[in-house]
Amino acid sequence: MKASTLILPAIAVCAFAIHPSFAADRVKTANGILESTDAPKDGVRSFKGIPFGQPPVGDLRWREPQPVKNWNGVRKADQFGPRCMQRTSPGADYWFRGDGMSEDCLYLNLWTPAKSGEEKLPVLVYIFGGGFQNGDGSEPRYDGENMARKGMVAVSINYRTNIFGFFVHPELTKESPRHAAGNYGLLDQVAALRWVRKNIAAFGGDPERVTIAGESAGSISVSALMASPLSRGLMAGAIGESGAMISSLPPQRLADAEQNGVKFGAAADANTLAALRAMTAEQIQEAVTKVQGLRFQHRTGWLFPAKAPYGNLRGRRASQDSAVGRFEHPGAIGALRLGRRRSYAGNARQRHQEVIWRQCRRHPAGLRRHHHG
């Protein structure tokens, strides 16, 4: 990955005065009162397992997320919610801190300075990667404590992945009032941003200064959200690392995605949408393993009004505050734990010599410029 291809936000995190005006362990949101029972750590208070959508179970499976229902009393926000349904390979570098796995997984986590000034703080919303197959907002690499120490409100979110987040079937297309099946995981991300827009001020954040960020599939999601009119007005900046809609993982066409859905239904002996929704989550996961070559991922459609969203990325962006440049001080949630540019370059040379040599032969002038810059 070339540093010059990264999308950087025009945000500053170093000039925010801290005053004793926000130190509550209870916060009133649009849906009810949240309580963080954890004592502030190094000046940072966290709220975990905050619901931003109704559980997408039963008849809500494979539908766009529905708004959270209000609750009475005080809801504790001191534990990560469960991760969305997924399979992880042995030896994969995932470390989940949530309580198990469930379709009921639309939760976000938030870190904020325990005391913030009258001027609202910038907000960073991080979208995890994992090829749209795996991942969770509870992973330590996405922990927002360090970012909150720098004077911003940090948020990590969950979203549906794999077949639960990107399944398409002709009956789903017919059922949708917008003739748009699939992309439920991306719609979860939009729902999370809407929650942030509506509630972040209660946590000391500025809804007008929300930056989204992600790597791998999270970065593809960032570019998708930039292209989609559904997220217009929900963010002011964007950071994408190692992924974009123009990539080796392009969106699927509706016809191809529907064909995958029919194949899966036949393999699962559930040829109707009602039968598919009647299956347990575990039965669905088991059935997926019986069909080779199925791909459940983002696709073109209602989320992207054009047949291909690439033109939107070049022109009509939902986020205007983006730039191209290089990292000297990596600072995003889950940022490279390799130190600054020199140690990163040294690690890259050690681990990826063959790839670097290939790129040097292909782009000698550009590599020299970055090495000396």
Residues 45 and 141 in one domain: yes
pLDDT digits (tens, 9 = 90+) for 185-196: 999 999 999 999
124 pLDDT exceeds 70?
A: yes
Helix axis angle for 353-362 and 364-372, nearest 10°, is 120
For residues 218 and 280, membership in a common domain is answered with yes
Kindly tell me if the per-residue pLDDT of 325 is higher than 60: no
pLDDT of residue 305: 58
High-pLDDT (> 70) share of the chain, %: 67
Q: Which amino acid is at 117?
A: G
Question: Is residue 95 very low, low, confident or very high in pLDDT (cuts 50, 70, 90)?
Answer: low
Give the integer Cα–Cα distance in Å for 203 and 22. Answer: 8
| Same domain (yes/no): 96, 245 | yes
pLDDT above 90 covers a percentage of the chain that reads 46
Position 53 pLDDT exceeds 90: yes
Query: Do residue 191 and residue 271 come from a single domain?
Result: yes
Say whether both 346 and 330 belong to one domain.
Answer: no
CB atoms closer than 10 angstroms to residue 248: 5
Q: Which domain holds residue 36?
A: 3-337
Rounded to the nearest 10°, the torsion over CA 5, 152, 207, 246 is: 20
pLDDT digits (tens, 9 = 90+) for 261-303: 999 999 999 999 999 999 999 999 999 988 877 777 666 666 7
Residue 256's pLDDT is what?
A: 85
Counting the structural domains of the chain, the total is 2
Q: Are residues 218 and 160 in the same domain?
A: yes
For residue 90, what is the domain's CATH number? 3.40.50.1820
For 229-268, how does the pLDDT look when each residue is reduced to its tens digit (9 = 90+)? Answer: 999 999 999 999 877 766 555 667 888 889 899 999 999 9
Q: Is the pLDDT of residue 89 over 70?
A: no
The arithmetic mean of pLDDT across residues 205-215, rounded, is: 95
Q: Are residues 106 and 124 in the same domain?
A: yes
Contacts with 282 (C-beta within 8 Å, 6 or more apart), sequence order: none
Residues 66 and 95 in one domain: yes
Beta strand pairing status for 107-113 and 153-157?
antiparallel
Assess contact for 158 and 81: CB atoms under 8 A: yes
Question: Residue 303: its pLDDT value, please?
Answer: 73
Evaluate if residue 21 carries a pLDDT over 50: no
Q: What is the pLDDT of residue 98?
A: 67
For range 347-353, the mean pLDDT: 48
175-176-180-184 Cα dihedral, nearest 10 degrees: -100
For position 297, what pLDDT does the model report? 66
Model confidence at 217: pLDDT above 70:
yes
Say which DSSP state 82 is in: P
Q: Is the pLDDT of residue 211 over 60?
A: yes
Quick one: pLDDT at residue 92? 57
Give the model's confidence band at 114: pLDDT under 50 very low, under 70 low, under 90 confident, else very high: low
Q: Is the pLDDT of residue 173 over 50?
A: yes
* Residue 18 reports pLDDT greater than 70: no
Average of pLDDT values for 128-143? Answer: 83
pLDDT in the model for residue 103: 97
The model's pLDDT over 71-81, given as tens digits with 9 standing for 90+, comes to: 999 999 999 99
Residue 182: alpha-carbon gap to chain centroid: 16
Q: What is the pLDDT of residue 292?
A: 75
Average pLDDT over residues 212-223: 91
Confidence (pLDDT) at 15: 32
Q: Are residues 332 and 346 in the same domain?
A: no
Residue 168 confidence (pLDDT) above 90: yes
Query: Distance (Å, rounded) from C-alpha 89 to C-alpha 185?
Result: 21
pLDDT at 65 over 50: yes
CB 190 within 8 A of CB 64: no
Q: How confident is the model at residue 90 (pLDDT cuts 50, 70, 90)?
A: low
Q: Are residues 156 and 189 located together in one domain of the fold? A: yes
Q: Are residues 254 and 357 in the same domain?
A: no
Shared domain for 203 and 185, answered yes or no, is: yes
Specify the pLDDT at position 254. Answer: 82
Full-model pTM: 0.78
